[in-house]
């Protein structure tokens, strides 16, 4: 069984009208080319699912994770022409599950944006951080068509 088989799947950007989502969640952002297989690139947890997905759409540079994930999704969709999906499920212990999923995905050979060192928005240059995210996306997408 695939690690993500019991997750619900929605397109990204997440429109927010699919269903009312409350409580704790774990989620995995994935990208795919023309074929059916997809590759995870970010794992997160939240107790405000719709708001978290909106944070990624806004991609504020002052909020490092929001910027990194938002910029990665924009680049994968726009420049690389990939589909991005969000797989999610309810969780009673989202922080614990997030760590387990990250570990399991890393051990199975996936590269995750979670592991890219974060910047300090007060001293970093937005253009340099954007370039690093794009290069990371090129690396993880290099063997997907």
Asked if residue 52 is part of any domain, the answer here is yes
Return per-residue pLDDT of the chain as tens, 145 residues. Answer: 488 889 999 988 776 555 556 789 999 999 998 877 899 999 999 999 989 999 999 999 999 999 999 999 999 999 999 999 999 999 999 999 999 999 999 999 999 999 999 999 999 999 999 999 999 999 999 877 6
Residue 145 placed within a domain: no
Domain boundaries, position 77: 8-140
Residue 2 belongs to some domain of the structure: no
pLDDT for residue 14 = 72
Domain count, the chain: 1
Strands 8-11 and 83-90, sheet pairing: antiparallel
Residue 21 belongs to a domain: yes
pLDDT of residue 1: 46
The label of the residue with tokens 């990371």 reads 136
Tell me the two tokens of residue 26: 């774990």
Residue 67: other Cβ atoms inside 10 A? 24
Is the residue at 3 inside a domain? no
């Amino acid at each position: 069984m695939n690690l993500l088989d019991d997750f619900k799947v929605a397109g990204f950007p997440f429109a927010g009208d699919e269903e009312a989502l409350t409580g704790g969640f774990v989620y995995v952002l994935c990208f795919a080319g023309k074929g059916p297989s997809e590759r995870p690139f970010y794992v997160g947890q939240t107790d405000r699912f719709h708001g978290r997905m909106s944070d990624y759409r806004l991609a504020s540079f002052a909020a490092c994770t929001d910027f990194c994930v938002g910029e990665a999704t924009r680049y994968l969709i726009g420049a690389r022409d990939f589909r991005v999906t969000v797989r999610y499920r309810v969780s009673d212990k989202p922080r614990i599950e997030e760590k387990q999923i990250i570990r399991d995905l890393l051990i199975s050979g996936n590269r995750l944006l979670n592991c890219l060192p974060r910047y300090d928005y007060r001293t970093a240059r937005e253009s340099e951080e954007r370039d690093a995210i794009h290069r990371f996306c090129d690396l993880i997408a290099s063997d997907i068509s």
